[in-house]
Structure 1
Amino acid sequence: MTTQTQDPIINLYRDSFPDFARMIRRMGGSLDEAKDAFHDALLIYMEKERAGRLHVHSSPTAYLLGTAKICWLHARGKTTALPESFDPAEDTGDGADEREQSLLESLVRSGRKCMELLKAFYYDHCSMQDIAARFGFNGRRSATVQKYKCLEKVREEITKTKAYA
């Protein structure tokens, strides 16, 4: 019998990630791509949970898997641009142009280096190792941390404008 950890996020990760990794492998993706997309989705999940804006209509696992799949497709260039805090259940399509403009303005306010780093990852599909070399970071882990910090800057700017509230 295995001991179940009390932290629900760890349990959610443990229960959900293997299924997601298998799905991504079947769709032609790599384990690293699955990890990156799943971690981004987990950050979105935790951010919405902390802000009290998490509205799960099925199960937390289904919500997380759906969000992770959107993140993976986005990273592969198979979807249009989505904000990191996109919730498929909340998107109505109303005011999309205004939200896109607001998102673009938030990206610009986050700074040129952040914009270039996020563009390299999400649109140019550069690996974290390539991003580390391009931006002069010590390694893949440093690039990942910088990407996270940039996403946080953008989220902060979005929160200020309340475009996605």
Structure 2
Amino acid sequence: MSLKIKGSVPTDSEDILGILNDSPDTLKRIYKAHFPMVLQMILNNNGNDADAKDVFQEGVIVLYNKVKTGEFELTSKLKTYIYSVCRRIWLKKLSRANNKITELKDVHDFLPVENDLEMHETRDLQFSKMEESMLMLGEPCQTIIRDFYMQNKSMQEICDKFGYTNPENAKTQKYKCLQRLKKLFFQL
């Protein structure tokens, strides 16, 4: 029996149950919690707000249908699942858009685009592996790497955040975290 504290954030399992029970609050909560991440991904990849809304809605429909038909098995965080589904949907849309443009061009112009798609698919697989590796990495390494490489925080800021004695110790920890991340990445 699980105890739910009033005002606490629902777990992924509770959100899945909410979908099964047709709870309107669940879909609102999923939208509020996960749309910003999808919006950011699409804005960073040649999209706009409207694209993000469309892709997110399609992603939530995929989740909803899988949960309702009993085909859904929660093997990762719901956030990771939604992000992955929306990313695939966006890549397909980009791919279709590229194909429409290249169909109008000469065959000679088509070959580099095909190479580009292969390169993007390869890079996409690597990003997926990196996401999985980051999830497997755990804390505090996950936050240290995100803070340094994605948030552009200084070693001093990381030192202060995690209570290291000096920035050199934070740098050493970041190095160890990167080594662990590389090891996980190449094991996948």
Which TM-score band (shorter chain)?
0.3 to 0.5
Higher-Rg member (1/2) = 2
- Structure with greater helix share of residues: 2
TM-score (norm 2): 0.38
TM-score (norm 1): 0.43
